[in-house]
């Protein structure tokens, strides 16, 4: 019994933390790191969905990959009514008086919007902020990616929440570090940019920010959770 108890205590003690949450000093805002699929963060009211500058939702020939965050969102919420999603995106852009440029891709005529354009979709009492982070070619493949795309997208998300969004619990992925394949957008660098962007905002943007880390990135070691937590400790303490 003593041996078994010792083993259990040892396992608990040595088990790596996969979640942490800190309060930002002198500000009523929390920032959390969560190693789980973004849509498994059930405490979140709002989510960020990276997309392309065409705001295309087509999944044929993996124009939008089912493995991407946008693809998983569409399969979860709009699998049988993708036209409704297109209408909601267009309605949001129209309400904001954002006019795209005429363009074409493999599906025909479309509109192209600037990097950082945000469309807000409200569905099932949750809010989804689609942010254009990549230009794509006619087949939906990313082109001309730079780390500046991430900076612009993060700033645009914050501005959009302040203008048309909600100060609630927001879950955001490490945008640009996955299938967007943006040069220089490592998991750790995007994480730091995300933390800095929300902390440095002169206005309170969210009550709680959950930064979602893909479990595959954590298990493969490309996302260093210990380093992330140390950085969060420092930024929250000395904000």
pLDDT at 180: 58
User: Strand 118-123 to strand 101-105: parallel, antiparallel, or no bridges (unpaired)?
Assistant: unpaired
The pairing of strands 118-123 and 208-213 is unpaired
Using alpha carbons only, what angle is made at residue 198 by residues 88 and 132, rounded to the nearest 5 degrees? 35
Q: How confident is the model at residue 80 (pLDDT cuts 50, 70, 90)?
A: confident
- Compute the distance between CA of residue 163 and CA of residue 209 in angstroms, rounded to an integer: 18
Please give the domain boundaries of the chain with CATH numbers for all domains.
Answer: 18-237 (3.40.220.10)
Burial of 191 (0-12, 13-18, 19+ CB in 10 A): buried
Render 43-90 in DSSP notation, one character per residue: T-SEEEEEEETT-----GGGSS-TTSHHHHHHHHH-TT-HHHHHHHHH
| pLDDT score recorded for residue 142 | 86
Q: Whole-model pTM?
A: 0.90
The share of the chain scoring above pLDDT 70, in percent, equals 91
95: CB partners within 8 A, 6+ apart: 164
Q: pLDDT tens, 175-229?
A: 988 765 676 778 889 999 999 999 999 999 999 999 999 999 888 888 889 999 9
Query: Is pLDDT larger for residue 183 or for residue 67?
Result: 67
Quick: pLDDT tens for 40-63.
999 999 999 999 999 999 999 889
What Å distances lie between residue 76 and 28, 71, 86, 236, CA to CA?
32, 9, 15, 34
pLDDT digits 0-9 by tens, 114-125: 999 999 999 999
128-152: per-residue pLDDT in tens? Answer: 999 999 999 988 888 888 899 999 9
Q: List, in order, residues 6 or more apart from 204 with CB less than 8 Å away.
A: 27, 28, 29, 167
Residue 16: what pLDDT? 54
- Residue 12, pLDDT > 50, answer no
Tell me how long the chain is: 239
Rounded Cα distance, 21 and 210, in Å: 8
């Amino acid at each position: 019994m003593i041996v078994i108890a010792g083993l259990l205590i040892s396992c608990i003690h040595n088990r790596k933390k996969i979640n942490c949450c800190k309060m930002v000093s002198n500000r009523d805002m929390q920032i959390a790191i969560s190693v789980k699929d973004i849509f498994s963060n059930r405490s979140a009211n709002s989510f960020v969905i990276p997309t392309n500058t065409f705001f295309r939702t087509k999944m044929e020939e993996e124009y939008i990959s089912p493995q991407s965050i946008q693809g998983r969102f569409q399969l979860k919420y709009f699998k049988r009514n993708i036209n409704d999603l297109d209408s909601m995106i267009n309605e949001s852009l129209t309400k904001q008086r954002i006019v795209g440029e005429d363009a074409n891709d493999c599906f025909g005529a479309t509109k192209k919007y600037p990097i950082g354009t945000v469309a807000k979709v409200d569905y099932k009492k949750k809010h989804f902020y689609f942010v254009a982070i990549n230009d794509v070619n006619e087949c939906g493949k990313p082109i001309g990616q730079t780390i500046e795309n991430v900076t612009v997208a993060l700033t645009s998300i914050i501005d959009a929440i302040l203008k048309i969004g909600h100060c609630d619990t927001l879950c955001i992925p490490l945008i640009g570090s996955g299938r967007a394949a943006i040069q220089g957008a490592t998991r750790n660098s995007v994480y730091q940019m995300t933390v800095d962007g929300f902390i440095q905002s002169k206005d309170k943007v969210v009550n709680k920010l959950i930064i979602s880390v893909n479990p595959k990135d954590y298990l493969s070691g490309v996302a260093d959770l210990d380093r992330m937590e140390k950085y969060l400790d420092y930024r929250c303490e000395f904000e």
